[in-house]
């Protein structure tokens, strides 16, 4: 299971560790963050103890109004053996009772100098990215006119050569050979290259080339959202390929489906241009312009007019 620790949060967001340093390597396994407002009133029945807890001005102001014994009891319940950490926002003062409870339970108590809303937003985005389910796909990821295109196909079919031609045409390489993909939201796939092969392309006959060195920083991207798949396969004379583009195939990655377009490969076909046009056509479809459907509708109108004339 992917996990993050309080130590990483401290380093990433320049947090101040107030107490509970014994637990700074406790795993944070959930991206959800809790503001324990109901818990401050004494209601712990559904307390999400495994979440990171954030205390803002509202919670701390309410705590100040409680009797010392009540305050100690509730803060002891807040700091459990499963709580990965507590963060105080706005650089507010931590109650002594909270410091004691966190120290006793080994729960890291940290402090940030940003507002509660911004703190929750920043940490949630970070945790969702770090804890997202990931997989690796053999292929090439290219940014074409802002469209993240995952090019797949059998080894040697021409994926890297197509990517190189696309880079020469002004598009940007994200990853070659292996694409690390994480699902950060219900329908969002983010692709990035493994660190070892970042900015590199393997071209048979030439070897490994550094795209950023050859074409400049504008030719690469560190990551990109994947929205479509172009699958390259050797031309099969006996296979009937889609000629209109009305029926849309899908590629499933983790729990998300993306449109898949199968392009047959044979000598004389300019794959880079075809992939580029596929991305442009996909963009037009998202804008409501579907040339294939418009042609099909016009064809049906012609057929219906012909049938009426025959009658």
CATH number of the structural domain spanning residue 154: 3.40.50.300
Q: Does 184 have pLDDT greater than 80?
A: no
Q: Which member of 138, 204, 218, 298 is catalytic?
A: 138
The domain boundary, picked from 98, 131, 164, lies at 131
pLDDT value of position 303: 67
Prediction pTM value? 0.71
pLDDT value of position 246: 66
Least confident of 106-120, 137-151, 178-192, 231-245: 231-245
Share of the chain above pLDDT 70, in %: 91
Q: Does 93 have pLDDT greater than 90?
A: yes
Q: Does 214 have pLDDT greater than 70?
A: yes
**What's the pLDDT tens digit per position in 193-203?**
999 999 999 99
Please enumerate, by residue number, every residue annotated as part of a binding site for ATP. 153-160
The domain boundary, picked from 131, 152, 173, lies at 131
116 and 11 in a common domain: yes
177 belongs to the catalytic site:
yes
The domain boundary, picked from 131, 148, 182, lies at 131
Q: Which member of 65, 243, 266, 308 is catalytic?
A: 243
Q: Which member of 177, 198, 260, 285 is catalytic?
A: 177
pLDDT value of position 156: 87
121 and 176 in a common domain: no
Rounded average pLDDT over 24-32: 92
* Within a domain: 303: no
159 belongs to the catalytic site:
yes
* Within a domain: 308: no
Please enumerate, by residue number, every residue annotated as part of a binding site. 153-160, 202
**What's the pLDDT tens digit per position in 217-254?**
999 999 999 999 999 999 887 777 766 666 678 999 98
* Burial per residue of 209-230, b for 16 or more beta-carbon CB atoms within 10 angstroms, e otherwise: bebeeebeeebbbebbebbbbb
Domain CATH code at residue 72: 3.40.1390.20
In sequence order, what are the residues at sequence separation of 6 or more whose Cβ sits closer than 8 angstroms to the Cβ of residue 223? 174, 190, 191, 192
- Residue 237: give the domain boundaries: 133-295
284 and 137 in a common domain: yes
- What's the 3-state SS for the chain? CCCEEHHHHHHHHCCEEEECHHHCCCEECCCCEECCHHHHCCCCCCCCCCCEEEECHHHHHHHHCCCHHHHHHHHHHHCCCCCCCEEECCCCCCCHHHHHHHHHHCCCEEECCCCHHHHHHHHHHHHHHHHCEEEEEECEEEEECCEEEEEEECCCCCHHHHHHHHHHCCCEEEECCEEEEEEEECCEEEEECCHHHCCEEEECCCEEEEHHHHHCHHHECCCEEECEEEEEEECCCCCCCCCCCCCCEEEEECCEEEEEEEEEECCCCCHHHHHHHHHHHHHHHHCCCCHHHHHHHHHHHHHHHHHHHHC
Q: Which member of 159, 171, 192, 221 is catalytic?
A: 159
pLDDT value of position 132: 83
pLDDT band at 2 (very low <50, low <70, confident <90, very high): low
Give the chain's domain count: 2
Rounded CA-CA distance 175/183 in Å is 17
* Within a domain: 118: yes
pLDDT value of position 310: 61
pLDDT value of position 238: 78
Please enumerate, by residue number, every residue annotated as part of a binding site for Mg(2+). 160, 202
């Amino acid at each position: 299971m992917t996990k993050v620790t309080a130590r990483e949060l401290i380093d990433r967001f320049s947090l101040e560790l107030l107490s509970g340093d014994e637990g700074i390597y406790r795993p944070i396994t959930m991206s959800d963050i809790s503001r324990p407002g109901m818990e401050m009133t004494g209601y712990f029945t559904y307390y999400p103890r495994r979440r990171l807890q954030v205390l803002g001005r509202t919670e701390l102001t309410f705590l100040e109004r409680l009797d010392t014994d009540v305050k100690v009891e509730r803060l002891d319940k807040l700091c459990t053996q499963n709580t990965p950490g507590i963060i105080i926002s706005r650089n507010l003062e931590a109650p002594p009772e909270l410091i004691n409870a966190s120290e006793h339970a080994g729960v890291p108590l940290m402090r940030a100098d940003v507002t509660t809303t911004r703190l929750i937003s920043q940490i949630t985005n970070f945790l969702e990215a770090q804890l997202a389910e990931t997989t690796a796909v053999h292929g090439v990821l290219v940014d074409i006119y802002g469209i993240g295109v995952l090019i797949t196909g059998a080894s040697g079919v021409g994926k890297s050569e197509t990517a190189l031609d696309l880079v020469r045409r002004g598009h940007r390489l994200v990853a070659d050979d292996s694409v690390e993909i994480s699902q950060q939201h219900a329908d969002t796939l983010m692709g990035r290259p493994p660190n070892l092969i970042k900015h590199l392309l393997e071209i048979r006959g030439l070897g490994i080339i550094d795209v950023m060195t050859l074409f400049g920083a504008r030719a690469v991207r560190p990551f990109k959202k994947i929205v479509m798949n172009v699958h390259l396969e050797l031309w099969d004379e006996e296979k009937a390929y889609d000629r209109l583009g009305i029926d849309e195939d899908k590629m499933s990655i983790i729990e998300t489906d993306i449109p898949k377009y199968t392009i047959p490969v044979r000598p004389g076909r300019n794959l880079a241009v075809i992939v580029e046009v596929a991305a442009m056509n996909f963009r037009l479809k998202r804008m409501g312009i579907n040339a294939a459907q418009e042609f099909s509708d016009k064809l049906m109108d012609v057929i219906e007019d012909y049938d009426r004339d025959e009658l």
